[in-house]
Amino acid sequence: MITGSSMLKRIIETIDPSANRNSSVSRRGAALAVVFVAMLVLSILAGAVYILFASNLRSLNWTMDRISARFAAESGVRLAIHYLSLDPNPPAGTEPFYLPGDSAGWISIPGVDDMALVVIDPYDFAERPFANPGMEIRSRGISGEGTNTVVARYVPDSPSRYALLLDGSIPAGFFTDGRVIDGPVHSNGTIVFSSASPDSVNDPSALEISTTTEGGFYFTGSGYSEVPHPEGSSIWVQPYPSHRRGSPYWNTEARRIDFTRLHDYFYGLRSDAAGQGTIIYGVKRLLFDGETIRFRKGILNPTEVIQLSPDSNLVFIENGGLPVYMKSLSALTVPLTVISTGPVYISGMIDGGTSMNGGPLGIVSLRDIIVAVDPSQSGASDWPYPWNIDTDHTLSIRAYLAAPSGELRAETVFYPKEKAYFSVMGGVLEAKFGRLGTADMGYYLFISYDDGLSGVRPPYFPILEHWTMISWEENPDFGDASIEDNLY
């Protein structure tokens, strides 16, 4: 059946045979146009995808460069701390200085192609001599097109910061009921805790306490523990709420403190004392007296005097292995460190002042520090007043006592015949824990920490190998200043 439309189409083809051909051409042209448009759209999309990909790649590379630059800056800070830890004396002066690098101060970071510019800026406003010198370390890292700046502030650790510092272990019987030390404690060995009370009342206490991984905390009845109250134990090391938070209050993995280095450092101060003219030889007895030190080389020898001052505050006693007896005639009014190559015998009260009032006084023996027996009890002969030994009672020692290769001990643990206190208002450093008494005779060691020792050292006392970070900031705004300026 032929429809009207089919008949019309045939009439048109009869009149113009090319019409059918033009229709085919038109269809092909339209298809080509569609293909062209599609290709154009695809090209635009491909270009957009490429641009987006390239942009993302650049952003990724920039982010990676920034991250690498931050790592370079952090590496610069660590290199600065390592550099500072190599010298037991803090850098002199207050002006900033570069960590050694190339002619412009840039350091190549080992293992990568990144660089860091590191500036060490000492604190300018320390109010006391021998204050622990805080440092601001500013490190700018560069990696590819990325830069990043880190500013960190550190303070050095010092042996005089510790109320009690030992190379060896702290044995059973010290940290037990009633023992309170209100300052930092560290031992390179084991620290033993005990308690007879069933609860935490009167349990041993230390403000901060740390040991190395080679040592450890040992609880009688429970064994070694990394926490201040082992499960099932009756011992709660106080202040327990602080210690349970971990470092720095309770630290089982503190760095080992090198006592050999401390001994060598103190012996090396002989040359500094020589520069001050304060090396003395063959001293038998010594008195601290205001702004002076008085000493004698024998009972019949004349009294000699050293005038103390900020430029004369280190005394080195070259005694070989012979002892020197020390006590106070009156309180010292200037900071001072006294070092003896032989044993130091405490022969009476010592008042070196506090770190905030006259002191601090550091007494260092390269052998032992020994509490002398009072001749009134032993029956031995003695020197006349004020050179006599006066130790048959509770003794108050306001000083920092250091025996980096020896111990603090009594000449005999059986005197005084009745229990007395050996009260140190400052701190004690000893290589090995010494005995001062028995359960009912001799001395009981009591340490009352001088808080000022956390920031001020006795003259010429060293800093330790590690520094403590107190703040950290990334990409600070220096304003109109630059990284090299004196900003701290």
Least confident stretch, 43-52, 222-231, 319-328, 424-433? 43-52
Structure confidence at residue 129 (pLDDT): 72
Region 100-117: mean pLDDT is 84
**Residue 22 pLDDT greater than 70, yes or no:** no
Structure confidence at residue 144 (pLDDT): 85
Structure confidence at residue 8 (pLDDT): 44
**Residue 409 pLDDT greater than 90, yes or no:** yes
Sign of the CA dihedral 315, 318, 320, 323? negative
Structure confidence at residue 422 (pLDDT): 98
Cα distance between residue 352 and residue 127, in whole Å: 20
Cα distance between residue 461 and residue 316, in whole Å: 13
Structure confidence at residue 225 (pLDDT): 94
pTM over 0.85: no
Question: pLDDT digits over 147-160, tens only?
Answer: 899 999 988 899 99
Structure confidence at residue 218 (pLDDT): 97
Structure tokens, 258: 């090198």
Structure confidence at residue 11 (pLDDT): 44
CA separation, residue 187 to residues 100, 167, 191, 251 (Å) = 35, 6, 7, 11
pLDDT tier for residue 13 given thresholds of 50, 70 and 90: low
Cα distance between residue 248 and residue 257, in whole Å: 16
Question: pLDDT digits over 255-311, tens only?
Answer: 999 999 999 999 999 999 999 999 999 999 999 999 999 999 999 999 999 999 999
Cα distance between residue 425 and residue 129, in whole Å: 20
Provide φ and ψ at 76, rounded to 5°.
-60, -40
Region 71-79: mean pLDDT is 90
Question: Among 338, 212, 176, 215, which residue's Cα sits nearest to residue 266?
Answer: 338
Cα 15 to the chain's mean position, in Å? 107
Region 227-237: mean pLDDT is 94
Question: pLDDT digits over 172-198, tens only?
Answer: 999 999 999 999 999 999 999 999 988
Rank 141-145, 178-182, 481-485 by mean pLDDT and report only the highest: 178-182
Structure confidence at residue 58 (pLDDT): 64
The number of residues making up the chain comes to 488
Structure confidence at residue 10 (pLDDT): 55
Question: Among 444, 403, 463, 428, which residue's Cα sits nearest to residue 183?
Answer: 428
Contact 248, 209 (CB under 8 A): no
Q: What percent of the chain has pLDDT over 70?
A: 90
**Residue 20 pLDDT greater than 60, yes or no:** no
pLDDT tier for residue 468 given thresholds of 50, 70 and 90: confident
**HSE (side-chain half, CA atoms, 13 Å) at 349:** 11
Sign of the CA dihedral 428, 429, 433, 436? negative
Cα distance between residue 234 and residue 211, in whole Å: 21
The average confidence (pLDDT) of the chain is: 89
Least confident stretch, 41-55, 92-106, 377-391, 401-415? 41-55
What is the 3-class SS of the chain, one letter each residue?
A: CCCHHHHHHHHHHHHCCCHHHHHHHHHHHHHHHHHHHHHHHHHHHHHHHHHHHHHHHHHHHHHHHHHHHHHHHHHHHHHHHHHHHCCCCCCCCCCCEECCCCCCCEEECCCCCCEEEEEEEECCCCCCCCECCCEEEEEEEEECCEEEEEEEEEEECCHHHCCEEECCCEEEEEECCCCEEEEEEEECCEEEECCCCCCCCCCCEEEEEEECCCCEEEECCCEEECCCCCCCCCCCCECHHHHCCCCCCEECCCCCCCHHHHHHHHHHCHHHHHHHCCEEECCCEEEEECCEEEEECCCCCCCEEEECECCECEEEEECCCCCEEEEECCCCCCCEEEEECCCEEECCCEECCECCEECCEEEEECCCEEECCCHHHHCCCCCCCCCCCCCCCCEEEECEEEECCCCEEECCCCCCCCCEEEEEEEEEEECCCCCCECCCCEEEEEEEECHHHHCECCCCCCCCCCEEEEEEEECCCCCCCCCCCCCC
Provide φ and ψ at 184, rounded to 5°.
-70, 145
Question: Among 291, 295, 332, which residue's Cα sits nearest to residue 308?
Answer: 291
Structure confidence at residue 12 (pLDDT): 47
Region 357-372: mean pLDDT is 96
Contact 362, 160 (CB under 8 A): yes
Cα distance between residue 377 and residue 420, in whole Å: 14
Contact 399, 344 (CB under 8 A): no
Question: pLDDT digits over 339-350, tens only?
Answer: 999 999 999 999
